[in-house]
């Protein structure tokens, strides 16, 4: 009888020789988290679709590339003159929010793209999915995360071009594009060599999305968007996921120098947001240059060329 009880005890409590408890499975990260995006692959190839315009300083083309099965478009400005031996230094221009139905591959952010091209940089300005003729959905809560995926696939494609110096790729992001840019350099810390954030729309996640959706709620589309965001927030995430998704909370992954530009009179993205991001960089001993423009607004129009020249200095 004692032997029987000993056998039962060993089966119940695991006291038999050689028994070890099953290992606790490692939780799978949320598929939209910085961790998950850092550990997946990005692969694409660029195709030139059409010539847009030629100036004395550069030629513009509409290009296409694949992003996770979606056909995406971008504007490419190719500098005139003799190409450097290793290819042109390249800047990816990540645009801010424009209604996806209004946004234009050929004409949106045309001045910024031209300024960089005239300074001797090959420029790539991705649409992001759901903008102009680019395939995909631009209306979801995860849109900005998906935009970062589009940019990461574009970087993969750009590095295969003979015209691009793969060791001199830089990134500019304005407003919403600042969030996209920061997320990209956290997911892939060495994909680019430096970055610039203009009036970055970066806050704790998901506040960085919901803040703008709460504005102008009399607009029926905004109400619908807010309802959709709340539904997706509940279905796709738990509060425990938020820190792993927030670009603001993952600055520790950044390994490159960054410029931050912000006008004190910005009515679109609070000036304090730029200050907060800069403080986070400084607290983690990252290389950051914060430029404040007294009385200037969201697009930094009064100091536009000054700010761009500061970026060119960083990229050179």
pLDDT band at 225 (very low <50, low <70, confident <90, very high): confident
Q: What pLDDT does residue 265 have?
A: 99
Q: Is the pLDDT of residue 233 over 80?
A: yes
Q: Which domains can be identified in the chain, with CATH numbers?
A: 30-315 (3.40.50.1820)
Mean pLDDT over each residue of the chain, to the nearest integer: 92
Structure tokens at 151: 């940019």
pLDDT band at 14 (very low <50, low <70, confident <90, very high): very low
User: Quick check: 78 and 89 in contact, CB under 8 A?
Assistant: no
pLDDT band at 183 (very low <50, low <70, confident <90, very high): very high
**Residue 8, pLDDT score:** 45
pTM of the predicted structure, to 2 decimals: 0.90
pLDDT tens per residue, range 193-205: 999 999 999 999 9
- Which H or E run contains 203? none
- Check pLDDT > 90 for residue 74: yes
CA 91 to chain centre: 14
- Summarize the confidence of residues 258-282 as an average pLDDT: 98
The predicted model gives 28-38 an average pLDDT of 95
pLDDT given for residue 24 in this prediction: 58
Instruction: For residues 2-18, give the mean pLDDT.
Output: 47
Nearest-angstrom CA–CA distance, 223 and 221? 5
Between 37-51, 74-88, 207-221, 222-236, the lowest mean confidence (pLDDT) is in 207-221
d(CA 73, CA 89): 21
Dihedral sign computed on CA atoms, order 302, 306, 312, 313: negative
Residue 159 CA to residue 259 CA, distance in Å, equals 23
């Amino acid at each position: 009888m004692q032997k029987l009880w000993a056998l039962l005890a060993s089966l119940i409590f695991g006291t038999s020789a050689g028994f070890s408890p099953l290992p606790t499975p490692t939780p799978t990260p949320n598929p939209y988290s910085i961790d998950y995006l850092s550990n997946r692959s990005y692969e694409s190839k660029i195709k030139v679709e059409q010539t847009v315009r030629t100036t004395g300083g550069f030629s513009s083309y509409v290009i296409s590339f694949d992003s996770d099965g979606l056909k995406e478009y971008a504007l490419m400005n190719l500098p005139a003159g003799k190409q450097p031996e290793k290819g042109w230094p390249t800047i990816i221009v990540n645009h801010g929010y424009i209604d996806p139905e209004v946004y234009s591959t050929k004409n949106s952010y045309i001045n910024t793209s031209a300024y960089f091209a005239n300074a001797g940089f090959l420029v790539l300005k991705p649409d992001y999915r759901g903008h102009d003729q680019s395939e995909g959905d631009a209306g979801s809560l995860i849109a900005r995360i998906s935009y970062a995926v589009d940019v990461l696939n574009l970087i993969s494609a750009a590095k295969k071009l003979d015209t691009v110096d793969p060791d001199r790729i830089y990134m500019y992001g304005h407003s919403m594009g600042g969030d996209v840019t920061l997320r990209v350099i956290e997911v892939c810390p060495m994909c680019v060599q430096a970055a610039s954030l203009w009036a970055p729309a970066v806050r704790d996640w998901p506040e960085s999305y919901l803040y703008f959706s709460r504005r102008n709620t009399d607009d029926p589309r905004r109400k619908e968007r807010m309802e959709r965001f709340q539904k997706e927030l509940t279905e796709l995430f738990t509060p425990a996921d938020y820190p792993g998704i927030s670009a603001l909370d993952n600055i520790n992954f950044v390994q490159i120098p960054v410029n931050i530009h912000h006008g004190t009179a910005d009515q679109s993205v609070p000036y304090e947001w730029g200050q907060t991001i800069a403080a986070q960089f400084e607290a983690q001993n990252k290389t950051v240059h914060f430029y404040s423009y007294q009385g200037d607004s969201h697009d930094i129009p009064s100091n536009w060329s000054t700010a761009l020249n500061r970026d060119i200095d960083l990229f050179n």
